[in-house]
Amino acid sequence: MIKQQLAAIKSDIETELTHIGQANRHVRLIAVSKTQPMQAVVEAYALGVRDFGENFMQELCDKAAIASQQNLQIQWHFLGHLQRNKINKFLAINPWPILHSLDREELMQALAQRVAAAPDAIAPLQVLVQVNIGRESQKSGVFPENTRAFVEKALTYKQLRVLGLMAIPPEDEDPTPFFAAMRGLLQEIQVLTGGENIKELSLGMSQDFALALPFGATMVRVGRLLFGDRKPQGALP
């Protein structure tokens, strides 16, 4: 199943990019493996997938440990809400995951301090700023009007490398206005901060990743469409 679904997803990406006249543009497919068994990760890895996304810290740690034992060269992406008391676990993973959910200054400061103190730190921690583009009370993220200042603050920490922005639009609304707003925010930040290296837009999931591509998505996060229904949390065998 994963083989067929992966081929279909890649085909959809290629078709949409060709349709918008950007056939040569690279889009990073992140396989969201949260609550999936490790065997699904191994199967997708064998098919060439190298980027995997997780939402729960313990599950990420467990899977990363297994991947290391099996010498799988995976780039992990952490998509969930990172608590400060889990930072040490996060930084114990080698290589460090890319954090898609930098959403508050206290986390920014704590991460910078821990990275600076990491004995084997060889590079800045790669992060994306999570934007609460729909201003939803149940979601984390920086409000759009505060995003520029937040990014500028993050750029003052040499221990962090801001790659770009991430957002999850409201579930029951047309996502395209929110995708358009995110593209505008990224362009504004690039102009105002001179951030030529701030270019990543983590947008789009199983139900709407193709819609995100015309708005500049450089990373799409696909789970259910690739792996099928979620399994009970923590199912690693």
The lowest-confidence range among 77-86, 153-162, 167-176, 222-231 is: 222-231
Give 105-136 pLDDT, tens digit per residue: 999 999 999 999 987 666 799 999 999 999 99
Give 54-64 pLDDT, tens digit per residue: 999 999 999 99
Mean pLDDT (whole number) for 188-214: 92
CA 12 to chain centre: 20
Secondary structure element (H or E) that encloses residue 125, with its range? strand 125-131
pLDDT of residue 123: 77
- What is the distance between the terminal CA atoms of the chain, rounded to a whole angstrom? 18
The yes-or-no verdict on residue 210 having pLDDT over 50 is yes
pLDDT of residue 179: 98
What tokens does 127 get? 């992060």
Pairing of strands 51-54, 160-167: unpaired
Which residue pairs, CB below 8 angstroms and at least 24 apart, start in 101-107?
101/128, 101/130, 101/140, 101/141, 101/166, 102/127, 102/128, 102/129, 102/130, 102/154, 102/160, 102/162, 103/129, 103/130, 103/132, 103/140, 103/141, 103/142, 104/140, 104/142, 105/150, 105/153, 107/82
Domains, the chain: 2-227 (3.20.20.10)
Q: What is the mean pLDDT of the chain?
A: 94
The yes-or-no verdict on residue 233 having pLDDT over 60 is no
Q: How many CA atoms lie within 13 A of 35 on its CB side?
A: 9
What lies within 8 Å, CB to CB, of 75 at 6+ separation is: 50, 51, 52, 95, 97, 98
Q: Residue 192: pLDDT band by 50, 70, 90 thresholds?
A: confident
Amino acid residing at 95: P
Mean pLDDT (whole number) for 11-29: 97
What lies within 8 Å, CB to CB, of 18 at 6+ separation is: none
Secondary structure element (H or E) that encloses residue 51, with its range? strand 51-54
Q: Residue 235: pLDDT band by 50, 70, 90 thresholds?
A: very low
Q: Residue 202: pLDDT band by 50, 70, 90 thresholds?
A: very high
Q: How far is CA 47 from CA 10, 42, 187, 220, in A?
A: 12, 9, 34, 18
Mean pLDDT (whole number) for 141-170: 96
Helix segments in 84-142, DSSP class H: 87-91, 105-117
